[in-house]
Amino acid sequence: MAAQTSMLHIRVDDKLKADAAEKLAGVGLTVSDAVRILLTRVVKEGALP
C-alpha cells in the first residue's frame, strides 16, 4: 500500500526558488525532493542538518 502524502504550500522569493531548482536539477533532484530530504533529516536528527 502506498504511503499517504500531504501537500505543503510555502512562500519563497521567486529568484531563490529558480536558483535552487537549477542547482538541484544539476544533481538530478527537484525542489520537492530537497524538501523531503530536509524533513527526513530533521525527523531523524531532531534538528536542522
What does the block give as the cell for 12?
519563497
- Grade residue 3 by pLDDT with cuts at 50, 70 and 90: confident
What is the per-residue pLDDT for 23?
99
In the predicted model, is pLDDT for residue 2 greater than 90? no
- Grade residue 25 by pLDDT with cuts at 50, 70 and 90: very high
Domain boundaries, the chain: 14-45
Q: pTM for the complete prediction?
A: 0.85
Q: Using CA atoms, how far apart are residues 1 and 41, in angstroms rounded to an integer?
A: 24
